[in-house]
Copies of this chain bind each other. A is one copy, B any other.
Amino acid sequence: MTDEQVRAIYELVKWAPTAMNQQPLRVVLVRSAEARERLLAHLSPGNRTKTRSAPLTAIAVDTEFHEHLPELFPHYPGARDVFADDSARERSARFNGALQVGYLLLGIRAAGLAAGPMGGFDAAGVDREFFPDGRHRALLVVNIGAPAADAWFDRLPRLHHEQVLTTV
How far, in angstroms, from A32 to B167 measured CA to CA in the complex? 8
Q: How far is the CB of A113 from chain B (nearest CB, A)?
A: 14
Bin the interface of chain A by size: 35 or more
Interface string of A50-94 (1 = CB under 8 A from B): 000000000000000000100111100000000000000000101
Give complex CA distance A86, B130 in Å: 29
| CB-based nearest B residue for A91 | B94
Residues of B within 8 A of A95 (CB): 94, 98, 119, 139
**With a CB–CB cut-off of 8 A, which chain B residues contact A157?**
21, 71-72
Q: Would you call A167 and B102 a contact (CB within 8 A)? A: no
A168 at the binding interface (Cβ < 8 Å) = yes
Query: Is B166 a contact partner of A28 (Cβ separation < 8 A)?
Result: yes
> A60 CB to closest chain B CB, in angstroms?
10
- The answer to whether residues A26 and B166 also contact, given A11-B161, A72-B156 and a CB cut-off of 8 A, is yes
Task: Pick from B7, B99, B105: contact of A98, CB below 8 A.
Answer: B99
Q: Spell out A's residues near B (CB within 8 Å).
A: 3, 6-7, 10-11, 14-17, 19-21, 23, 25-32, 35, 68, 71-74, 92, 94-96, 98-103, 105-106, 115, 117, 119, 130, 139, 156-159, 161, 163-168
Q: A94-B98, A100-B102 are in contact. List 10 more A-B contacts (CB 8 A).
A: A6-B165, A10-B165, A11-B161, A14-B159, A16-B106, A19-B117, A29-B165, A31-B168, A71-B157, A94-B94
